[in-house]
Homo-oligomer: A and B are copies of this chain.
Amino acid sequence: MTTASDLLTSFGINGVASVVIIGLFSILKNQPLNARVYFAKWQLKGEKVGPTGSLPAGTGIRRYINLDAKSYIHVMDWIKDCLRMPEAELIDHAGLDSAVFLRLILLGLKLFVPLTVVGFVVLVPLNVTDKQLSNDLKDKALTYDALDTITISNISTASRREYRNIVALRFTFLALQIARPDQFTILCRCIPEDPDEPIATHVDHFFRVNHPDHYLLSQVVYNANDLAKLVKRRAKLQNKITYLQGVMDKKLKPARPTVKTGYWGLWGKKVDQINYYDDEIAKLTDQITAERMRVLTEDKAVMPAAFVSFETRWGAAVCSQTVQSRDLSKWLTEWAPEPRDVYWANLPIPYHRLNSRRLGMLILTIVLVIFFFFPVTFVQGFANLQQLERNLPFLKPIVELDVLKSAIQGFLPGLILKIFLLALPYVLNIMTRFEGHVSYSRIDKYAAAKYFGFMVVNVFLGNVLVGSAFEQLKEFIDRPTQIPKTLAQAVPMKATFFITYIMVDGWTGLAVTLMRLIPLLLFHFRSALMVRTTRDLERATPVGTIELNTALPQLGLYFILGLVYAVISPFILPFIVVSLGASYVVNRNQILNCYEAKYESAAAFWPHMFGYIIIGLLLKHLTLIGLMALKEATSSTPFLLPLPICTLIFYLYCKNRFEEAFHSYALEEAKAKDTIERAREPDLDVRAFLENAYIHPTLRSVVAGNDLAGDESDDDGAD
């Protein structure tokens, strides 16, 4: 069991660690040497923001290290700086996804700061005095009840308003956007085969007939996955050559490097490495040219899917929202993702296989969730010192030290959980890609949903519920009415564990994120060896991105913890508030200075996030009902029973009222934007602008005319 002193140790370790890392970051950030790491976004934009920005460009050592003592006084000003930019400008600078993500953190603060205040003013004194007055439980229950009512109405109003605001933001954002190809384009799948004409012509005819006034052009989807692999391999080799040449230029090695030609360079003839790679590249280039021809000419390489573009946004909006064919499994249309958001590798998957793939991944996720319990429990047991001593007796003298003991008890459990969770997103991402979503934004969204499942079941329930998870599960299925009571018994006992988890994840973890240690090292390594031209420097600049697939579920977990513990054990709230506050500052800094969005989904993830909050509310209600039943405050239990039902109704209401905004583009909006654009730019050539927008990146150069430059393979998605 974690005790109060363990908690204090953990507080000490995490507090000190965070402060030290943040201090280090503030100093590192102040060095012109690191500007490309900590101001990556501005550097790429060509704007000289950062330590060199405010100073006259130094010479010599000053180009690398900041010797201006005055600037160290203001070393913590970055916090002020990053909070300064207004939201509208932020949306412009970093996109709506990032801005909405920040709003969500703010939403958390708006909910939990008042709850903390109420909790400490009302509940803590009540709990303290309650020890003497244990007979008037009823009073306490009523206070719980009243508090809970406040909490819930607060959350409902706040989240409903937030929903409306985000919908409004989304529409405004879409209305203000410049003409983007995805506004005019839909993705059509399940195109039936026609014996008389190839798919491209068939698509063209179909839309020319059924959308005669608005149809513009269509671009069939090629299965260029093999081609993408070749291009990728060539890029890798080119990278290696650059590196080797860098090493030689710097004379770090005496002779020209050699390599064996067999697999993995382990056996075979020894040859000169650079020459060998050059030959390989030449071979690959030939293969690529051949494969490209094959893809473009062979009928089999054409998939029954196409990007169909319209002359107006109205036409595209109509086509994406309507049923095209009487066979409902044919000619399925949906709004096209942005060109950079398209996950090309999934487009060739036959549509009818998607269902079974999704089902398979659902089952696999459930299996993973269940089996994830084992390693966590095992390693957690290890962190239990009695067991550790028994298993590894030679550690006994060390472990017996009181300080170390506290450190291990207070720090390790949270850390172990965090480490296990770190590996998870990669697995979940691969699984979600396999499901066949056609855009990165959707892959992230559904990977996030799976991760959230882990957060709820493994992190929250798994740590709350004592005893074997399987037995508990069986018990739950057998007697579901016992769930609230079990929760109510277990939840209060685990408050300290979650406090250490929050400190590890929300304090130290955030500080590490802020620091960007790995990008920093990588950048210096690269710039030492591989950078010769400005383009090389640009490619070496480590631009990050918010990993929404993990950031959203983590935020969701904080909501759950805050909501569930708000009434039961408000001591956890200040830790959450500090975490959220820090998260807001850190994420805002990263978004402003060094993150570049991979795609712009216009906050398409919000409905999921709203669902997470609702799940938190439901867990809260269940726990509260169980608590009332346990304390036999039966007079107030019946008043609590409608709570989860009302929450569900509220969820359905919001879903009904708002969610369509995330799937469909309102015709009124589309028409208005069309009209305004026609007035402003009467001779905008939509065709020219759409013609090459949705071509597989490895084919783009060929189709566009110039055959040679073929390495825009950064986003071919074949990994």
State how many copies of this chain the complex holds: 2
Pair B657/A328 contact, Cβ less than 8 Å: yes
Q: How many residues of A contact B (CB 8 A)?
A: 39
Q: When A477-B480, A649-B359 are in contact, do A318 and B322 touch as well, CB less than 8 Å?
A: yes
Residues of B within 8 A of A477 (CB): 480-481
Residues of B within 8 A of A252 (CB): none
Tell me the minimal C-beta distance from A638 to chain B in angstroms.
Answer: 15
Pair B326/A666 contact, Cβ less than 8 Å: yes
0/1 per residue, A639-678, Cβ < 8 Å to B?
A: 0000000000100010001101100111111010000000
Pair A323/B666 contact, Cβ less than 8 Å: yes
Tell me the minimal C-beta distance from A365 to chain B in angstroms.
Answer: 15
Decide yes or no whether A325 CB sits under 8 A from chain B. yes
Q: When A318-B322, A477-B481, A480-B477 are in contact, do A210 and B328 touch as well, CB less than 8 Å?
A: no
Tell me the minimal C-beta distance from A563 to chain B in angstroms.
Answer: 25
Pair A660/B480 contact, Cβ less than 8 Å: no
**In the complex, what residue of chain B is closest to A477 when comparing beta carbons?**
B481
Pair A323/B326 contact, Cβ less than 8 Å: no
User: Which residues, 208 to 232 on A, are CB-close (under 8 Å) to B?
Assistant: 209-211, 213
Decide yes or no whether A317 CB sits under 8 A from chain B. yes
Tell me the minimal C-beta distance from A703 to chain B in angstroms.
Answer: 29
Decide yes or no whether A171 CB sits under 8 A from chain B. yes
Decide yes or no whether A324 CB sits under 8 A from chain B. yes
0/1 per residue, A335-371, Cβ < 8 Å to B?
A: 0000000000000000000010001000000000000
A665 CA / B671 CA spacing, docked (Å): 23
Decide yes or no whether A310 CB sits under 8 A from chain B. no
Pair A328/B658 contact, Cβ less than 8 Å: yes
Decide yes or no whether A184 CB sits under 8 A from chain B. no
Point out the residue from B171, B210, B318, B653 that lies within 8 Å of A671, measured CB to CB.
B210
Residues of B within 8 A of A206 (CB): 668
Residues of B within 8 A of A610 (CB): none
A324 CA / B329 CA spacing, docked (Å): 25
Decide yes or no whether A479 CB sits under 8 A from chain B. yes
10 additional contacts (CB under 8 A) given A323-B661, A480-B480: A171-B326, A322-B667, A325-B666, A326-B668, A326-B669, A328-B658, A329-B657, A331-B668, A359-B649, A478-B480
**In the complex, what residue of chain B is closest to A214 when comparing beta carbons?**
B213
Decide yes or no whether A154 CB sits under 8 A from chain B. no
Q: When A210-B667, A321-B323 are in contact, do A660 and B478 touch as well, CB less than 8 Å?
A: no
Q: List 10 A-B contacts (CB under 8 A).
A: A206-B668, A210-B314, A210-B668, A321-B321, A323-B664, A323-B667, A326-B668, A328-B661, A328-B666, A477-B480
Tell me the minimal C-beta distance from A363 to chain B in angstroms.
Answer: 10
Q: When A324-B667, A661-B326 are in contact, do A213 and B213 touch as well, CB less than 8 Å?
A: yes
A275 CA / B649 CA spacing, docked (Å): 58
Residues of B within 8 A of A325 (CB): 666, 668
Pair B479/A664 contact, Cβ less than 8 Å: no
User: Which residues, 290 to 348 on A, are CB-close (under 8 Å) to B?
Assistant: 314, 317-318, 321-326, 328-329, 331
0/1 per residue, A167-191, Cβ < 8 Å to B?
A: 1000100000000000000000000
Tell me the minimal C-beta distance from A39 to chain B in angstroms.
Answer: 37
Residue in A477, A479, A653 whose Cβ sees the most chain B Cβ within 10 Å? A479
Tell me the minimal C-beta distance from A96 to chain B in angstroms.
Answer: 15
**In the complex, what residue of chain B is closest to A664 when comparing beta carbons?**
B323
A328 CA / B649 CA spacing, docked (Å): 18
Residues of B within 8 A of A657 (CB): 328-329
Tell me the minimal C-beta distance from A435 to chain B in angstroms.
Answer: 16
Nearest 3 interchain pairs by C-beta? A323-B664, A321-B322, A171-B326
Residues of B within 8 A of A314 (CB): 210
A27 CA / B657 CA spacing, docked (Å): 60
Tell me the minimal C-beta distance from A573 to chain B in angstroms.
Answer: 34
Residues of B within 8 A of A478 (CB): 479-481
**In the complex, what residue of chain B is closest to A669 when comparing beta carbons?**
B326
A671 CA / B206 CA spacing, docked (Å): 11
Tell me the minimal C-beta distance from A607 to chain B in angstroms.
Answer: 13
A481 CA / B329 CA spacing, docked (Å): 38
A653 CA / B669 CA spacing, docked (Å): 34
A597 CA / B410 CA spacing, docked (Å): 75
Residues of B within 8 A of A323 (CB): 321, 660-661, 664-667
Residues of B within 8 A of A481 (CB): 477-478
Residues of B within 8 A of A665 (CB): 323
Point out the residue from B213, B331, B671 that lies within 8 Å of A209, measured CB to CB.
B671
A667 CA / B667 CA spacing, docked (Å): 17
Residues of B within 8 A of A322 (CB): 317-318, 321-322, 664, 667
**In the complex, what residue of chain B is closest to A355 when comparing beta carbons?**
B653
Tell me the minimal C-beta distance from A156 to chain B in angstroms.
Answer: 16
0/1 per residue, A474-507, Cβ < 8 Å to B?
A: 0001111100000000000000000000000000
A317 CA / B323 CA spacing, docked (Å): 9
Tell me the minimal C-beta distance from A663 to chain B in angstroms.
Answer: 9
**In the complex, what residue of chain B is closest to A211 when comparing beta carbons?**
B667
Pair A668/B479 contact, Cβ less than 8 Å: no
A324 CA / B709 CA spacing, docked (Å): 44
Residues of B within 8 A of A329 (CB): 657
Pair A328/B660 contact, Cβ less than 8 Å: yes
A211 CA / B669 CA spacing, docked (Å): 12
